[in-house]
Every structure is written in structure tokens, then in C-alpha cells.
Chain A
């Protein structure tokens, strides 16, 4: 009996093949098999005969929306920076999208990075992606040589061991707290739709940190980010980070120093997170790709919580309305605003 993911893989291949074969799309962004257990390669398929290499499994942790603007550009006829946009409709690109990735596509559309009409969303409901790090931590000191995936279990194999573990126990934190596994955009449905998950408090991890004292929070912050090597994998894996020149690369003025100074590293992460405020869909790509295992998602999650509580918005859920920080209301909260002499902050 094929597993759910095997069935989805089959369906993805069939749909991708059909889309490429009849010329609906010029490229399909998906995943192919990785060279190590628990890895996959993001892949752009441009020919229908190559669709056989597409796969779908529990290790698809990178957000494919990240590739979308560039692949869209690659299927356009080449033109110089000052040349006019070519006449007529441009070629389309199909992309696999789960709940959070599809919301990123919504954000990209809102920010005019992606032309919605040129995207065919292959919507697939996410069952939660497995954190490779969580699995490796469970098997610390032992080398994992193969991982076999079943619907609810993973079988981890090494040279001298074979163990079965529950899949959900090693699913990434962001997937475990996710309430919207089903894509908000679907042009071609892959598999069955998923219903909204109940989660009374998706921000539990954030709350735990908020409960700490100021000193404890500072201690947490400095220790959490102390192992950062400034490789910028978190930034580059993020579909929101498309600035041609990132603030860390600015030389005039130089906002953030570039070496492994604790302050510079901290500032980088604070600013990176802040730049995602109101736009982050908590896809967890940043955390998954970090080679040092830093949980930088806590910062964006905190911002997500604030955006939801203060402005009632979640990224990618209101395609018609502007992004939270590109609009305002006359009665916005004045928490940090000193209104008069001896002013007390609102809410204190």
C-alpha cells in the first residue's frame, strides 16, 4: 500500500507532466530526491520528461515561494534593464505550495514581486514537515544512514540499529503549532484538502519567553544567537528577503558590523526579523536551514503575535487588504507614545 506521500508524489508528477506537456507552464518548481537521508533538493523542472524526478515527503522544509520571482524571470524572454516589458502574456510557472508557502505567494503578490496570473499553484495540504535536527538530536552520536517514511512513523536506520519513531514527535515546531495547513491559493489541487487545525494558543513558545524577566530574556537572546556564524542562510532561505541590497550589506551607512560580534549578530537578527513583521507566515525555513541550529523563529513569531493582537492581521490571509505595515488606522495603539508630561504608557 503506498503511503500518503507516495500518492502525493505520483499526483504531483502527473499534474506537472500535464502542465508542462500542454504548455500551460514553462517550469515547475518542486523537489527532487536528496543525496542524504532527510534531505530534498529544490528543483526546477522545465521538460515534461523530467517530471519523474519530482518527489514529495516530510522533509520538504525549504519554502519554494523563495524561488518563484527568479524562476518567473527566467522564463521571460531576455531583455535589458531598460527594455520595455514584452507584449502579450508571459510564460507561467507552476509551484508546489502548502498553507504557509501559498500565503507567502499572496504576500509576494501584494508586494508586486510576483504576478499572480503567471503562477499556477499546485496546492498540497501540509501534514507537517519533519525537523531533521530533532531527529538527529534523538540519535545523537549515532550516524543515520537511511530514513524510511510511513504515514505516522519514521524508521531510522543506522549501521547497527533500526528504530521506529513517531512522525509527529519530530515534526517542526512551527508545523506543530500551525493552524492552517491547507493552501489559501489552489489552482491545481494535489491530494485531499485539510481542515483548519484547532490550536488554542499557537504562540505558547513566545508566551514562555515573555513570562521571563527582562534580564532572563536578555540572557536567552544572547545565548540563543551566540552561535550564529553569519552565513545568512536564514535570510536567503526566506521568500520575504528579496531586497537587491540587504541592510547588512549596506556600506553607506553601515548599519550592522559584519564580524562575529555578539552585538552585530544580535542586531542582524533583530532587524531581519523586524523586516518580516506582518509578512512572515511562520514557514520555518529560516530555522530549518540554519547550520548552527539557532531558533531565530522566536523573533518573527513574536512579531506575528503582535501583528495579530494589535492589528488583527495574519500575513497572506487578507489578499485584498494592504499589508499591516503599509496601512494604518486612526485608532492605532499608542503603547510607546509619551503623550504628555509624566505620561504613563498605555497598558501599564
Chain B
């Protein structure tokens, strides 16, 4: 039986991620020990963040299952609930319901393959979870390529971690910003351009792409040119959601329910759907 009751959690840490202050990462700890232990998720899944008096919002889980004891959510301030969430303080109570959705195929299709992760803007959250998971289980996967772009250096999420990952030699990291910026000596250019330059080999590989629709649209042609097929590419859809359990119908894209059948789909699956996302 579904339970719509959120688990009570407390905000343990709030980190402002970007220079415009619109993105904050919330570290949530469970109030209840049994619930903490029972929580199991897969990178790519999402959860409903619940604020009493405000509502619930579906947000991708930014922490990897390997980071035990807490959950991370990076939230952009946009609507009613996220605005209220941004005004909350450390130690305050909120709720989490989940984990929901299918997540990336870390144990099936991705296992033993080279992984290419392409992220744009704040869609990087669940990919951060994935990357950390992959690094913790490094021997199970082949080469890892991580391409991540933001508008400006200040808009990059998880900057401390990016620096740490850059030091590792088992991850091929490409961080880019849209325009030249003072103090930035890394890559400059849009994600599709960088993806074209990096040109990851499609051989025994899987790509996970998350970002604004326009980025995904332009990232595909350079990949296709070097032989990537739709089956190898995983995308994460989003739609307005209410229940998150495949009941309320809000997130339907044709017969598919993003919350239950997704949010992760192969590009082949997405192509078959009507464009209602």
C-alpha cells in the first residue's frame, strides 16, 4: 500500500550554491532512526519535499545512496513551496516522501560500461548522486566522463566537490561555462560544443543527459555523428506532479506516467511519446 505520509526530517545544513542565491542545498536528517535505515534509493530517483502549510514538490535526490545518514536536495527557488523552503532555517522540521521513480540503471544497463554524464545548469543534482555512486563502486564501471556546464563560474553547483573530482585520475572531468569570466581558466563554451569536442566513444557506453530541453536538443547531433544511438542515451523528464505514485495522473505524457515509469527514460522511449513534457 502506498503511504502519502512524509517522513519527518530536520534541516541539518543549508548551503547557498550559486552566486545569485537562488540555489540552495539542503542537508536533511531523519528524525526517526527506523525510517532512516529503511530509506533506500537509487541515483536518479526523486522525492517529495513536504512543507506543512505550503505543499509538496518533487525534487531529484542529490545525494548518493552511499552517503548514508542524510539526504541532500539542491533546490532552485521558483514557486510557492521552493520560496518557502528557501526561507527555512537550520533545525527546522519538514517532510520527505519517497524515494520515487525508477532512477538510473546503475545495476543493469550501466554496469561494466563506460559512462558519459552530461549535465547543464542545476539539472546536475541527480547526476552528482550518480557520479558519487559510480566512484564508490569504481571497479564496476569503465571509463567515466563527466561534462558539466553552467552559465557562469558562479552558477556551478558543488564547486568544492568539482575541485576534488578534478584531482582524481579515474574520472574525466570537463567543466565549462557559457562565456569568458574573470578568474575562470577552465573551458568556455556551451555544453553541446564541449560534448562534441570531447567526443566520447559510443563503444560499450551509456550516456546520462540532464539539462534544459534546448541543451539536450543540441547535444544529441554531435553525439549521433560519432555513432551514439538512442538506446544508449538516458534522459530524465520532469512534469507537474502531485502524488508521485502513479495515481493522480498529473504527470502523464501520453500513456506514460513520469513519476512511476520515469523520470529516467532512454531516448528511444522518449521519442515514442507525444511531446507533452
Contact = CB atoms under 8 A, between A and B. Distances in A.
Partners in one complex: yes
Interface string B102-122: 000000000000000000000
B87 to A, nearest CB: 13
A251 B240 CA distance: 14
Contacts of B80: 251-252
Contacts of A252: 79-80, 83
Contacts of B79: 251-252
A248 to B, nearest CB: 15
A252 B54 CA distance: 10
A20 to B, nearest CB: 32
B164 to A, nearest CB: 39
Interface string B73-86: 00000011001000
Contacts of A251: 79-80
A252 B84 CA distance: 11
A252 B83 CA distance: 10
Interface in A240-274: 251-252
B40 to A, nearest CB: 33
A68 B83 CA distance: 38
A251 B79 CA distance: 9
A227 B268 CA distance: 48
A252 B80 CA distance: 6
Interface in B38-91: 79-80, 83
A252 B79 CA distance: 8
Nearest to A251: B80
Contacts of B83: 252
A36 B256 CA distance: 35
A252 B77 CA distance: 14
Nearest to B81: A251
A251 B80 CA distance: 7
Interface in A70-119: none
A251 B83 CA distance: 12
B171 to A, nearest CB: 41
A24 to B, nearest CB: 36
Interface in A203-227: none
A254 to B, nearest CB: 8
A131 B89 CA distance: 58
Nearest to A254: B80
Nearest to A252: B80
A237 to B, nearest CB: 25
Interface string B12-24: 0000000000000
A102 to B, nearest CB: 38
Nearest to B55: A251
A258 to B, nearest CB: 12
B170 to A, nearest CB: 46
B85 to A, nearest CB: 14
A314 B185 CA distance: 69
A29 to B, nearest CB: 28
B151 to A, nearest CB: 21
A166 B149 CA distance: 74
A80 to B, nearest CB: 15
A74 B177 CA distance: 41
The list of the 5 closest CB pairs from A to B, nearest first, reads A251-B80, A252-B80, A251-B79, A252-B83, A252-B79
5 contacts: A251-B79, A251-B80, A252-B79, A252-B80, A252-B83
Interface of A: 251-252
